[in-house]
Structure 1
Amino acid sequence: MLAPFLIMLREGLEAALIVGIIAGYLRQTGRREWLPAIWVGVFLAVAMSLFAGAAIQLVSAGFPQKMQELFEALIGLVAVAVLVGMVFWMRRAARSIRAELHANIDEALAYKGSAGTWALIGIVFLAVAREGLESVFFLLAIFQQSQDSAAPIGALLGLIGAVGAGWGIYAGALRLDLRRFFRWTGVFILLVAAGLLAGSVRALHEAGLWNGLQGRVFDLSRTLPESSPLGTVLSGLLGYREAPTLGEALVWGIFLAVTLVLFPRPPPEALPARPQTAAPK
């Protein structure tokens, strides 16, 4: 429950911040008449994300068992790629996203008539739809690999929390250290991604496409089974398995060793410029 809650809280807050930046800029520049276009863009993006998720679920339901395992592996791999891309993108873009959005709004509203309205709707739609589609892949992967029956409730609560936090930030009633929030949730999401990656390796084996490194690293089925309360929580959070194979353990460890070393480093734009040395005379 906690993993989908935090993922949807982060994804929803990213979308809410973007919408809040756009709405705040329109209000500050005396263009309130354009505000309804924002909600049109949000509605279209949410509808498209829900439709995409339902379509993927309906299509996959008719697959045979082997194909379903392959589909689960592919969804997990896509989710991992998007999770990592999202975490590192936000680290790099956080400083410039406001200025870029303001420039895009000014450019869109430079069009006359309905063209400006549709351009603004398009900006909001693309921003929110990106977060929505990311959430679809995350939730599909987590629901397929986790035994936590409360995961959908956690996702819904995370989304509600994100909407409330976004509104509080927009109205000035809530102050949140966004830099620290995205840093720590980024570390948590990388841990979740590592579990999804290990689960994808297991699904590839069950689909008959990966049969290497199948030796058991350990077996905690009696000490800490996945069906226990703590095992269920760890499974939902970190992709815990009571008896992981060597292949699953390797991809989990290598993934975290790489991403948790690279993530704390400042992005290239934030690195200080190298001091100039005087040319020899």
Structure 2
Amino acid sequence: MLAPFLIMLREGIEAALITGIIASYLRHSGRSQWLPAVWIGVFLAIAVSLFVGAVLQLVSAEFPQKAQELFEAFVGLIAVVVLVSMVTWMRKAARTMKAGLQGSVDQALAQGSGASLALIGMVFFSVAREGVESVFFLLAVFQQSQGMAAPLGALLGMVVALIIGLAIYGFGVRINLRRFFQWTGLFILVVAAGLLSAAIGSLHEAGLWNGLQTPAYDLSHALPVSSLFGTLLSGVFNYQEAPTIGQSIAWGLFLAITFFLFLRPVRVSGEKPLTPAAGEPQNVRV
């Protein structure tokens, strides 16, 4: 429940930042008459994201067992790519997000008679990016989880993100977004490592990966998945009590590489290197 909650909270806040920056810019520049186009773009993005998720879920339900395992591996690998790109994009784009979005709004409204459609399209693609990312992550998590804990966690994350977004842009509440994105970024990378390990296991079940299948270690006596703490770790990080050598190597290499890239200083052309702590968005208010 914790993993879908935190990731949907982060995705929701990213979407709220994007929407809030655009809406605030229109309002402050005396173009509030274009706000309905913003909300149309947002609702269309949400609808398309839900449609994509429903289609993928329905299609996968018709697969035979091996094809189901292959689909789970495919979705898991896409989720890993999506999570890493999510973290990387926010780390690099945070400082220029506001100016970039405002420039895109000006471009859209300069389209003359097609300005409304251009603005709807701009908002749609900006928010749909977050929505489709969420779809692939949630599919990967739901395939690895049982019961309603994961869906409830995701729903709660979206609700809290909506409340925070309204508080930031409606009432001027400030939160330390720099710290929020930094710590959730590290958490997301650990979650992605677990999804990668699980995807490798699904590839083996599908008959496409048969190397390095010897168990690397066995914690079934010390920390079984059936235990309370084991269940928690399994639900959040895809913990396995007896992973194979291949899964363990992939998990360790993935974390070593992504942690190094995430924590290294951010260098911008013409500026001194900035660490994530200095380069990420801080107490943002639009």
TM-score normalized by structure 1? 0.94
Distance in 2 between the 1:16 and 1:98 partners?
Answer: 13
Deviates more, 1:83-92 or 1:259-268: 259-268
Distance in 2 between the 1:171 and 1:215 partners?
Answer: 55
> Which residue of structure 2 lines up, in the alignment, with residue 194 of structure 1?
193
> Which residue of structure 1 lines up, in the alignment, with residue 109 of structure 2?
109
1:37 Cα offset (Å): 0.8
Give the secondary structure class of the aligned counterpart of 1:23.
Answer: helix
> Which residue of structure 2 lines up, in the alignment, with residue 235 of structure 1?
234
1:146 Cα offset (Å): 2.9
Distance in 2 between the 1:262 and 1:271 partners?
Answer: 20
Is 2:8 the counterpart of 1:8? yes
Query: Could you report, residue by residue, the CA deviation over 1:124-181 in whole angstroms, capped at 9, with x for unpaired residues?
Result: 1001100000000000011112346400000000000111111111124321111111
Distance in 1 between the 2:51 and 2:250 partners?
Answer: 33
1:235·1:241 contact (CA, 8 Å) conserved in 2?
Answer: yes
Distance in 1 between the 2:196 and 2:24 partners?
Answer: 39
> Which residue of structure 2 lines up, in the alignment, with residue 166 of structure 1?
165
Query: Could you report, residue by residue, the CA deviation over 1:109-138 in whole angstroms, capped at 9, with x for unpaired residues?
Result: 11223x111111111100110000000000
Distance in 2 between the 1:141 and 1:273 partners?
Answer: 39
> Which residue of structure 1 lines up, in the alignment, with residue 205 of structure 2?
206
> Which residue of structure 2 lines up, in the alignment, with residue 20 of structure 1?
20
1:106 Cα offset (Å): 0.9
> Which residue of structure 1 lines up, in the alignment, with residue 175 of structure 2?
176
Which AA in structure 1 matches 2:44?
L
Is 2:247 the counterpart of 1:251? no
> Which residue of structure 1 lines up, in the alignment, with residue 280 of structure 2?
none
1:26 Cα offset (Å): 0.6
Distance in 2 between the 1:209 and 1:233 partners?
Answer: 29
1:223 Cα offset (Å): 2.5
Alignment of 1:129-144 (within 5 A): 129-144=128-143
1:226·1:235 contact (CA, 8 Å) conserved in 2?
Answer: yes
1:266 Cα offset (Å): 2.5
> Which residue of structure 1 lines up, in the alignment, with residue 85 of structure 2?
85
1:240 Cα offset (Å): 0.4
1:108 Cα offset (Å): 0.9
Distance in 1 between the 2:202 and 2:146 partners?
Answer: 15
Unaligned residue ranges in structure 2 (runs of 5+): 274-286
For residues 179 and 270 of structure 1, do their structure 2 counterparts lie closer, same or farther at Cα, with a shift above 3 Å needed?
A: farther
Distance in 2 between the 1:179 and 1:126 partners?
Answer: 24
Which AA in structure 2 matches 1:11?
E
Distance in 2 between the 1:3 and 1:89 partners?
Answer: 20
Distance in 2 between the 1:76 and 1:271 partners?
Answer: 38
> Which residue of structure 1 lines up, in the alignment, with residue 144 of structure 2?
145
> Which residue of structure 2 lines up, in the alignment, with residue 279 of structure 1?
none
For residues 261 and 271 of structure 1, do their structure 2 counterparts lie closer, same or farther at Cα, with a shift above 3 Å needed?
A: farther
Aligned positions, number = 273
For residues 99 and 248 of structure 1, do their structure 2 counterparts lie closer, same or farther at Cα, with a shift above 3 Å needed?
A: same
Distance in 1 between the 2:146 and 2:251 partners?
Answer: 19
Which AA in structure 2 matches 1:226?
V
Distance in 2 between the 1:85 and 1:173 partners?
Answer: 29
Give the secondary structure class of the aligned counterpart of 1:94.
Answer: helix
Query: Could you report, residue by residue, the CA deviation over 1:38-86 in whole angstroms, capped at 9, with x for unpaired residues?
Result: 1100110000000000000111111110000000001000110111111
Distance in 1 between the 2:235 and 2:249 partners?
Answer: 19
Distance in 1 between the 2:217 and 2:179 partners?
Answer: 36
Distance in 2 between the 1:63 and 1:271 partners?
Answer: 53
Unaligned residue ranges in structure 1 (runs of 5+): 275-281
- Larger Rg computed on CA atoms: 1
